[in-house]
Amino acid sequence: MAGPEKTEFEIVLRNQGDNELSFEFPTSQKYEITVLDANKKDVYQYSEGKSFTQAFETLTLKPQEKMKWVDSWDYSMAGKRVPEGEYTVTAHLKATNINGEPVRDKKLLTDTKTMYIPGENPVFKGAVSDGIKGNYKIKGEARPINGKFFYTVEDGHNQLIPETEMKTGGKYPQWKPFSLEISIPESKLPQNGSVILNLYERSKDGEIIHTHPVLLERFNNHN
């Protein structure tokens, strides 16, 4: 899930069979994540700079049980943000034995996806959201050219809050902090899907520019 300022990796290990599965790991590291650019150059590796306990560990999953790990990356490599473009993400489970049997085909424990990393937004940065069930507080920094920006809230299908204007008290190139409080009736929230805040400004011609999406909440079978 590649956002404007960081990407979130979600690894899910699920036992879809009818028998219990025990995964044996030679260290406390359960997985590895690597990100390659278009030239196959390694720009991110989960284990880099981390230390792991050198002792065998076992993870047991009952039938239909799952385990989830989440990791994030702020697009930095050697202190600089990587350029906009398409990247390849590979996640590998580091188990060496399953139910006492050696893992012979490591491809079965490996998954590869592509993601598109957006360019750095010149107008918004550091936007974070706090809150649940339709009530959210958002803080960040902005430097719109005309000293004001706009926002809407939608769930991918419906607009939950129409375009609203926000003045920052400052203009480009000076960054100014901003804060928003948003309230959405629970009856309007999606049962499945994400509630997204879209920050943006408008050009002299009225066109939407410098859009910056912020995830407010993700719902799954919400009641």
Q: Tens of pLDDT along 186-198?
A: 889 888 888 999 9
pLDDT band at 221 (very low <50, low <70, confident <90, very high): low
Work out the end-to-end distance of the chain between its first and last CA atoms, rounded to an integer number of angstroms: 25
In this prediction, residue 219 carries a pLDDT of 84
pTM: 0.70
pLDDT tens-digit map of 132-141: 999 999 999 9
For the CA atoms of 212, 216, 217, 223, the dihedral, rounded to the nearest 10 degrees, stands at -120
pLDDT value at 222 more than 60? no
Distance CA 218, CA 223 (A): 13
Q: Which SS3 state, helix, strand or coil, does residue 80 take?
A: strand
- Two tokens, residue 72: 């994030």
pLDDT band at 223 (very low <50, low <70, confident <90, very high): very low
What are the phi and psi torsion angles at 111 (to 5°)? -135, 140
